[in-house]
Chain A
């Protein structure tokens, strides 16, 4: 067994995995487009996630569809992933890479807390995801591994407020005050959220939980209307978007029943 964790970067879990050959090395940033590949490879992609702050914390929502080109691969994909007790990562992009990234991030944060006996700071968590995206950039350039996540968490050490970030594929993080949306359906979602925030009955951060759920469902429905890669709500199969809320008390997953009822009364 190996136990040389007291060397450099004692709490860096990805480094530990690489050292043991359990995580792929950082992808080379070489383009193979137009060169090597004989046939165009179309990776599976997951689409349209959104998050915004409301009175009860942050609501993070994702549709359930995964596509490859214009084929629907899966219609029950989970794109809103729990990273720790107070952090959620929502993913748009290639699920294979994104799920792996979420797994590494989750274990990195746990590993840090367990070995260092303290919670990683919010800035540290945000940077950890940024670094994973940066390490993945080689695959993005090759056109096979793009991931554009949203990260939401609760800052206990700082101002005791919910914090919300979105990323670009290279790993730059952008903190937002109100809302964030990424994925193929995001232009429509951003339109809806901007409109609601500016001209709606009240701004997003003043919404109660039920109202927030309605806005999220309407936004995803709007995105699905024009974007084939966004699942929206499948009325026949009764497939609803995945909605989770982060508050001071932790993460809450809204039940399908509750979402269905809300959908029926305010969206459908």
Chain B
């Protein structure tokens, strides 16, 4: 039965709908360039959602923890073996995502008797300048959207993911309006929190694509933060060590998120 082409198309469409439903409740993640690097920020309740992949590469993911774990492991394995056999300079996010992860995701998605990956991810690679920062949004079906040096005119220096396309659109709209890649970490944290709020607020109620007013964002955030906590990490542009990933926790996080 499944050999008939239209059945296959139908099966894929059903599968897409199923995955979208599963992902819909995911807490948004924002990644954006600031003067000294890239900031990843999200708000969550229990599990970690931002991860170190390699010296200059980090991952933010929503979806099923088991699937995220498999993809995260695959990415770390690939980057580590490449970095070991050649050099850290040969590890490239572009190659990792386009040549290894994307085919893997596509295959899993289209083999309709197997399980697809329930995951939506942001990968970011910090460059020497904000203009060289690379952002890739990688979808469960292997589709990759790039923000970075590939885009010729005024490429956005940020990337957002959330449960629904509409919420993501709102976040992007907000970031396009507010974000400046030369800002301080403090300012970037504020923008990222607002972007998260914009995505999170619209996830529940599918109203419009307009970004809610600043007060509405703040109010929503205050409410959410009663039961959840901010998770943040940075990829630093420069430093004494080759390792650029640093989770932001404790006092530093309190200080950055304080109004």
Contacts and interface: CB of A to CB of B under 8 A. Distances in A.
Determine the main DSSP class of A at the interface with B: mixed
B73 A1 contact: no
B219 interface: no
Interface in A1-51: 1-3, 5-6, 10, 13, 16-17, 20, 22
B48 A107 contact: no
A250 B246 CA distance: 14
Given A13-B80, A103-B84, A117-B51, A110 B74 contact: no
A112 B81 CA distance: 13
B70 A22 contact: no
Given A1-B100, A22-B84, A111 B73 contact: no
Interface in A112-145: 113-115, 117
A17 B81 contact: yes
Determine the main DSSP class of B at the interface with A: helix
A2 B240 contact: no
Given A6-B70, A22-B84, A85-B243, A111 B76 contact: yes
B119 to A, nearest CB: 14
B125 interface: no
Contact of B77 (A5, A113, A250): A5
Most buried by B among A2, A17, A20, A110: A110
B127 interface: no
A114 B76 contact: yes
Contacts of B53: 114
B19 interface: no
A260 B104 CA distance: 55
A16 B77 contact: yes
Interface of A: 1-3, 5-6, 10, 13, 16-17, 20, 22, 82, 84-85, 103-104, 107, 110-111, 113-115, 117, 250-251
Interface of B: 48, 51-54, 70, 73-74, 76-78, 80-81, 83-85, 100, 104, 240-241, 243
20 contacts: A3-B74, A3-B77, A3-B104, A5-B73, A6-B73, A10-B73, A16-B81, A17-B81, A85-B241, A85-B243, A104-B84, A107-B80, A110-B80, A114-B51, A114-B52, A114-B54, A114-B76, A115-B73, A115-B76, A117-B48
